[in-house]
Structure 1
Amino acid sequence: MKNYDLAIIGAGPGGYIAAIHAAKNGMKVALVERKKVGGACYNVGCIPSKIMLEHSKLVQSIERGRTWGINAEETTIDFAKLMRRKDKIVDELIDNLGHYIEKNHVAYYAGEATVADDLTVTVGDENFTAKDIMLATGSKPFVPPFEGLETTTYYTTDTFFDITTLPKELTIIGGGVIAIEMAFALAPLGTKVTVLNHSEDILQTEEPDARPIIKKRMEELGINLVLDFTFERFEGNVIHTSIGEMPFENLLFATGRRPNVEIATSLGLKFDGRLIDVDLHCQTSKPHVYAIGDLIGGVQLAHSASAEGIHVVEHLLGRNPKPVQQDEIPRCVYTHPEIATFGLLAHEVQEPYTMIELPLRTNAKALMEGNTEGFVKLIVADKDRRILGACVMGDKSTELLNSILAAKTAGADIDMVANMIYPHPTMSEHIGESAREVFGRGIHI
């Protein structure tokens, strides 16, 4: 029977990155995946959804160009071709992952894994053991158990990205990041989108000041947003609610995800609610068994799982790594404009602080590009000028946030951000302007 230093169950962004990092550091590694390398992120999540958002973003750029005086023929959408492009990019990325795994001599096992109490792993008719096990089994779409749901057909994010025909109409249930991103991906292409969210607002885990801008943009795109009601039952292609009947042609549930905990349950691991209970190094209640990513909560994003996987490997190598800090993990929403945040929101701060929020409409580059919807927000501790949180909302804000996050991660205070020299004209110089305004030294205010 083969023996490994580390066996990783799940080859998503947490598992495959941890496997390669471990192998590069001299560990003998096994990686098991029951579906496709890349996990939900590459196959039915981050990557395909962001490709579709790029398509819709380009359509909006073409339309914006017309308002500037750049006239072109009427825009038409070959949706099947766009989806073939999506498939080609996904396939290329997954092929790359396979190459990286093979190149680094990670033993890859395709199939469903079971793990015995003695840490023997079984995949099909193969058995092997490992000194340590990392569970990186990810999550699956959650569909609420509504009455009558069995009478209708619907998509989840596991099935939606297989479509090849642009829906004329699409009803999306949910108000979180996935639901709103999918609305932005389809509406600019010509789909009549309705978003149904029983809560009073959308994106409730994100920066509150960003929500009105997103809702205004949704209205401009013709997205019908329905909030604050109760779902009663489903009957064929009709949803019965507390505010009336809502017929639909196509239905997508984007109502969150639930962790895949079958192995954890079979091993008798301790849970904290739906999540596996772990310590600061992601070790579970069973010695030599670790869990990362969607299994343990926190910021449930691909890059968070990757960071946790690397941390576990560093811990196993005896390098005493600093635990992954939740306030240093960027949260990203790829709407148009984007929202990028890290750290605390204003209502979460429990010490005296200064908050600066500068709208992008005074930024030269934003004006040139026609991307003035958004702002830079900084939250800084009054006592020692620590960066407690930040939000950048605007075009490419998921890239722009990193200059602030780099300062925080390096242990610097807001002075470092204020004293950097930013190129002009750029969107990034608005970050420096915001940092200087913490001290009342902003210029374009």
Structure 2
Amino acid sequence: MYDLIVIGGGPAGYTGALEAANLDKKVLLIEKSKLGGTCLNSGCIPTKSLLHSSKLFKKISNLNDLGVVSRETIFDLSKAIEWKDLKVSQLQQGLSALIKSKKIDVEYGDARLLGNKVVEVDGKKLKGENILIAAGSKSLIPNIKGSNNHLCLTSRSILNLKEIPNNLVIIGAGVIGLEFASIFSSIGSNVTVLEYNNQLLPSIEKRVSSIFLKAIDFTIKLGVTVSEITNNSVIFKWQNNQESLAADKVLIATGRIPNSKEYESIGVVESGRIKVDEYMRTNLDGVFAAGDVTGKTFLAHGGIKMAEIAVNNMFNPLSKMNYDLIPSIIYSEPEIATVGITLREAKERGKDILKSNYYLNNNGRYLVENGFKDGLCIVIADKESRIILGAHIIGTDVSEIISNFVIAVKQELTIDQLKQIIFPHPTMSEIFSDTIKFL
């Protein structure tokens, strides 16, 4: 018998397996395809590779003002795809080696949880003292006429395009849609994003989303209902008018849904997701779940923390999950990075707050190195306790400074404590300290 059987080899799954192995537990990891899951193979990592390539191309094309003058630069998408595939392969090899070094058993195939802590993999029955379901998620394909024709792509298939489409229509203005819009608009596509909701990124500070809308070099239409995808266009209703857009390719980026259907028969699924409590426990003894399959968060780092908490709660005193501590990043140009609560959420919770707005161009390092001039950092603190509650940043490469705010929110650090920290000058990390000074 295994101490732990993990179903799913993505970030939540392999993290859970490694955490248990570090506690000298006997672990089995079951994966139906490739270790690393969606994130490594067709999500976080490959998209960041293409984003990096596209951002470099855009930067190189606009370097004359910095004294770097070059002849015409072209973007070779097939080469960028090759680079992406190489880096994904290297990470796959590293992950496999790490799992092997920890003496974790791996089975490949479709897993089925039979109950009584028995898991079946391609006819083989295996038993574990604990089960961690980390089965991930899949793309949500809406019921739109023509959504299965040759123009249509998912976030997985678009990663292997060999040619840059002249006209790319993206259905959905969430993280996935906006990141691919940034990639393809930067390398020459005419990109239009169609979004059903009337507000862009409703979970983001309104001022941040407003700056984003003004900064992007692609078109976003809000309040759109798509009715049909033809062989060369997308037909939709917008502002009470029937319209159409020419399209060489159509990316359907309307979100993701948990891979939970296979678990309905054992009674752990509610509203299309595996229901867990704050300790990552399902309603079955010894059965835990983490990551996308719970519907709590569709972010890899959120799933990783959920898995860590789940494994800790199997073998140690109980610890709880705090979803306010999960940072969220859109790796577009400009980037958006957030952690903690928004001004609206603070008001809903009855908080009396302090707020600081810091313009990133006031940071010397940011100003001389970055082209985006409207960067902003908003920090929220509790007025009575002076504890940092949240941070919301828009600008170039701000994903690299949000972690300072994550630590502040997690440790419930006060404004006065943070003012004691000395940051090196000139660095972008000073954005953190300078924003705090104005609270």
Deviations 1:51-109 (A, max 9, x none): 11101111122123123232111111121111000000001001111111111011100
Task: Write the letter of the residue equivalent to 2:379.
Answer: L
Q: Out of 30-39 and 258-267, give the one that drifted further.
A: 258-267
C-alpha displacement at 1:130, in angstroms? 0.5
- Look up the match of 2:219: 224
- Which one of the candidate residues 333, 337, 354 is aligned to 1:336? 333
TM-fit CA distance, 1:200: 2.1
Match for 1:47: what amino acid? I
Change (3 A) 1:18 1:185: same
Q: Measure how far apart 1:395 and its partner are.
A: 2.3
Whether contact under 8 Å (1:407, 1:416) holds in the other structure is no
> Please, which moves more after superposition, 42-51 or 386-395?
386-395
- Which one of 22, 30, 47 corresponds to residue 45 of structure 2? 47
Q: Match for residue 391 of structure 1?
A: 392
State how far apart, in whole Å, the 2-side matches of 1:169 and 1:233 are.
17
Query: 5 Å matches for 1:355-394?
Result: 355-371=355-371, 372-394=373-395
Structure 1 range deviating more: 362-371 or 254-263: 362-371
Q: Which amino acid aligns with 2:26?
A: K
Contact 1:414 1:435 in 2 (8 A): yes
> Matches of 1:419 and 1:64 in 2, distance apart?
39
Cα pair 1:176 1:204 within 8 Å, conserved:
no
Q: Deviations over 1:188-246 (max 9, x none)?
A: 1112212111222322222322212222222xx3x222222322333333322223122
1:348 to 345, 350, 356: 345
Which amino acid in the other structure matches residue 268 of structure 1?
A: G
One-letter code of the match for 2:118?
T
Q: Which residue of 2 aligns with 1:409?
A: 410
- 1:22-421 alignment, distance < 5 Å: 22-150=20-148, 153-218=151-216, 221=217, 223-242=218-237, 243=241, 244-271=243-270, 273-321=271-319, 323-349=320-346, 350-371=350-371, 372-421=373-422
SS at match of 2:224: coil
Shift of 1:17: 1.1
Distance apart, 1:162 and its partner CA? 1.9
Worse-superposed segment, 398-407 or 173-182: 398-407
SS of the residue corresponding to residue 383 of structure 1 reads coil
Question: d(CA) in 1 for partners of 2:102 and 2:50?
Answer: 32
- What residue in structure 2 maps to residue 441 of structure 1? none
Give the conservation status (yes or no) of the 8 Å contact 2:261–2:272.
no
Provide the C-alpha distance between the structure 2 equivalents of 1:415 and 1:263, rounded to a whole number of angstroms: 51
TM-score (norm 1): 0.93
Query: 1:152, 1:234 within 8 Å by CA — same for their partners in 2?
Result: no
SS at match of 1:373: coil
Question: Paired residue for 1:435?
Answer: 436
Shift in Å at residue 312 of structure 1?
0.9
Percent identical pairs in the alignment equals 31
Post-superposition offset of 1:396: 2.3
CA distance in 1, matches of 2:206, 2:134: 32
Provide, for residues 147-185 of structure 1, a one-character-per-residue CA deviation record: whole Å limited to 9, x for no partner: 343555411112111222222221111111110010111
**Unaligned runs of at least 5 residues, structure 1:** 439-445
What is the CA–CA distance in structure 2 between the aligned matches of 1:327 and 1:370, rounded to whole Å?
30
Q: Pairwise CA RMSD of aligned residues?
A: 1.6
* CA drift at 1:270: 4.3
Which range is displaced more, 410-419 or 281-290? 410-419
Q: Distance in 2 between matches of 1:89 and 1:151?
A: 31
Contact 1:338 / 1:398 at 8 angstroms: preserved in 2? yes
* Partners of 1:140 and 1:34 in 2: CA distance: 14
Mind listing any 5+ residue stretches in structure 2 that lack a counterpart?
Answer: none
Name the CA distance, whole Å, in 1 between partners of 2:234 and 2:58.
31
Q: Distance in 2 between matches of 1:108 and 1:19?
A: 10
One-letter code aligned to 1:415 = D
1:270 and 1:284 in contact (8 A); partners too: no
TM-score of the pair, normalised by structure 2: 0.94
- Equivalent pair of 1:392/1:400 in contact (CA under 8 Å): no
List per-residue Cα deviations over 1:390-431 (Å, max 9, x = no partner).
112222211211112212222321222222111111122122
CA contact (8 A) 2:328 2:338 kept: yes
CA deviations on 1:233-271 (whole Å, 9 max, x unpaired) are 333333222231223111110110000013321312141
From 3, 9, 12, give the equivalent of 1:11: 9
Cα distance in 1, alignment partners of residues 110 and 149 from structure 2: 31
Judged with a 3 Å threshold, the aligned counterparts in structure 2 of structure 1 residues 76 and 420 are, in CA distance, closer, same or farther, namely same
Question: For the residues of structure 1 that align with 2:67 and 2:147, how far apart are their CA atoms?
Answer: 49
